[in-house]
Amino acid sequence: MSDFLKREGYALVEAADGQQALDLFFSEKGIGLVILDVMMPRLDGWVVCREIRKASSVPVIMLTARSEESDQLFGLDIGADEYITKPFSPMILVARVKAILRRAGPDARRPRQFGRLEIDSARHLADVDGERVYLSPKEYELLVYFADNEGMALSREQILNSVWDYDYFGDIRTVDTHVKRLRAKLGDAAEYIQTVRSVGYRFEAPK
């Protein structure tokens, strides 16, 4: 993985176990993204992610051989930004790294306004007309994916691959079920998620 990332021009700091990862994170300056394996010696990835989240909002990608949805929800609950299950292509990891760093640019952590809807990526929160919308981690991730691709017609396959991981083999109707729940929670902003016939969905908010 490090070889592929270095070829893309990234500078890396590598750790052999969870404790060393934490020591390096707090001693090195300018770390822009953390990739954690869940199963590490001394301290596992869950513990390391929690400790990092106490002090920093730096993006975190979790790598694991466990693909159960409960594990993915747990990872997102403790502050991970992405969850990739093994085996995976190194180029998929590179693509995820690029996407996360693009989203985590200088202005990416500021709240974004979409009509009645405000998304605060720094705190993983969403408000409609100033009222808090309580979303599950997957509903929030789906909302952010829509917002990141505002104006684009997104197929159910695209949404499934991007929000539920490339290795997810569940029923594609999962997307429709989560969109239905998300719309119900967004109230007056539900109309921003439009159904595109024979394709999927498009997020469009009034300017």
| Residue-wise pLDDT tens digits, 48-90 | 998 988 888 788 888 887 666 566 666 666 778 777 888 888 8
Q: Which long-range contacts (CB under 8 A, 24 or more apart) does 68-77 make?
A: 72/138, 72/165, 73/136, 73/137, 73/138, 74/46, 75/38, 75/46, 75/49, 76/137, 76/138, 76/141, 77/137
Phi and psi based region of residue 124 (left: phi greater than 0; alpha: psi -120 to 50; beta: remaining) = left
Domain 2-103 has CATH 3.40.50.2300: yes
Percent of the residues in the chain that have a pLDDT greater than 70, as a whole number: 87
Q: Which residue bears the tokens 């998300």?
A: 182
Q: Give the residue from 22, 87, 4, 7 showing the smallest Cα distance to 58.
A: 22
**pLDDT at site 164:** 76
Taking CA atoms, 73 is separated from 8, 68, 70, 98, in Å, by: 30, 9, 5, 23
112-203 folds as: Arc Repressor Mutant, subunit A (1.10.10)
Using CA atoms, how far apart are residues 61 and 100, in angstroms rounded to an integer? 9
Return per-residue pLDDT of the chain as tens, 207 residues. 888 888 888 899 999 999 999 999 989 888 889 999 988 999 988 899 989 888 887 888 888 876 665 666 666 667 787 778 888 888 888 888 887 777 666 555 578 899 999 998 777 789 999 999 998 878 888 999 899 888 888 888 888 877 876 445 556 788 899 999 999 999 999 999 999 998 899 999 987
pLDDT, averaged across the chain: 84
- For the chain, the domains span 2-103, 112-203
**pLDDT at site 85:** 81
